[in-house]
Amino acid sequence: MLENGIDRVADRREKKAALAADVAKAVTFEWCAKRFIEGKSAEWRNTKHAAQWTSTLEQYAYPVIGKMLVRDVELPHVLRILEPIWEAKTETASRVRSRIDNILDWATVHGYRTGPSPARWKGHLDKLLAAPSKVQRVEHHAALDYRQAGAFMRRLRAQAGMAARALEFAILTAARSGEVRGATWQEIDFGAAVWTVPPERMKAKKEHRVPLPGPAIELLKRLPREADNDLVFPAPRGGTLSDMSLLAVLRRMSVDATPHGFRSTFRDWAGETTAYPREVIEHALAHQLKDKAEAAYARGTLFDKRRRLMAEWARFLDIARVEGSGEEVGRGVAELIRMREAY
């Protein structure tokens, strides 16, 4: 080595440094996954999101690649994870694929592996696995027929408990369960009869102003207010009602529906019995318009029209109390016509 002009001491140092660098890069997929989740948790709006990531990775990914060096994860390993569940649990499998892909990209950015992710979809796995939309069975939330909604509301109002009141309020406002369970008194403007849901609690991350019909205002006025709790619908032991609490009310009433399903009930009623444009109904549900051109022109929130729509919905729930009664429904239609003429 000396004859060849090689410094033996420098050579040893270089090899030692290269070995240390190689050891530093020898991290497992599970190690990378945990670091990725820790780093991203702060930006996830749902506190349960990190737990869901960890749960799915522990169940499906870690048994196959958890202890592997992240640099060694290749396509066959990814397929071994996804293929057994791709058709039977399509939504779960799609989420697992996306999560593996994110973690492998994170590892690449940090220098723990090289090359494109073997879990990427476009131009890669889409050539090997069926499109999720083609194999996934769409399971809609169970919903109540809108013609039975009035009779149901009469029964619901006879139910005791904060969860029952939260469900009643959710139906009157066509809001999501999570938005209702997290509502605070500061968001309620009794004078203007408006509930303003802040962006951080909305699915679309945009502020949503909900016009409150008379029955919703009366419901709020009857609720007790706790000095040390700003939640409108607090849990019995403090804190927020669980996502299962509203469903439990329906189960006790032996109603085959879900809280979210009542948004479909409202949508069916509005679409089949009123003449309101589709965009008014979609705004009432806080949906984002899928048509980009339509969304570009619909910059407003159609608030005044939504106020009239929600007033009619509340009135419908009051007058359609007798399930299957043609006479009652007939009087209800006449009343709604008078309301529209008044506006």
* CA distances, 259 to each of 175, 299, 311, 318 (Å): 10, 29, 20, 19
How much of the chain is helix, strand and coil, in % rounded to 5?
60, 5, 35
Q: Which of 57, 93, 84 minimizes the C-alpha distance to 73?
A: 57
Q: In the structure encoding, which two tokens stand for residue 182, read together?
A: 């997290």
Instruction: Give the SS3 label for residue 339.
Output: helix
Q: Determine the Cα angle at 245 with ends 155 and 221, to 5°.
A: 60
Ranges for all domains in the chain classified under CATH 1.10.443.10? 146-342
Identify the pLDDT of residue 295. Answer: 42
Strand-pair partners of 184 = 231
CATH number, domain 146-342, options 1.10.3720.10, 1.10.443.10, 1.10.1140.10, 3.40.462.20: 1.10.443.10
Distances (CA, A) of 241 to 171, 237, 275, 303: 16, 9, 36, 29
Residues of the chain with CATH 1.10.150.130: 8-135
CA atoms within 13 A on the CB side of 158: 7
pTM of the model: 0.61
- The residue behind tokens 């399971």 is 139
Average pLDDT, rounded, for the chain: 84
Which numeric CATH code is attached to 8-135?
A: 1.10.150.130
Taking only the tens place, the pLDDT of each residue in 46-79 is 667 888 899 999 999 999 999 999 999 999 999 9
**What pLDDT, on a 0 to 100 scale, did the predictor assign at position 203?**
80
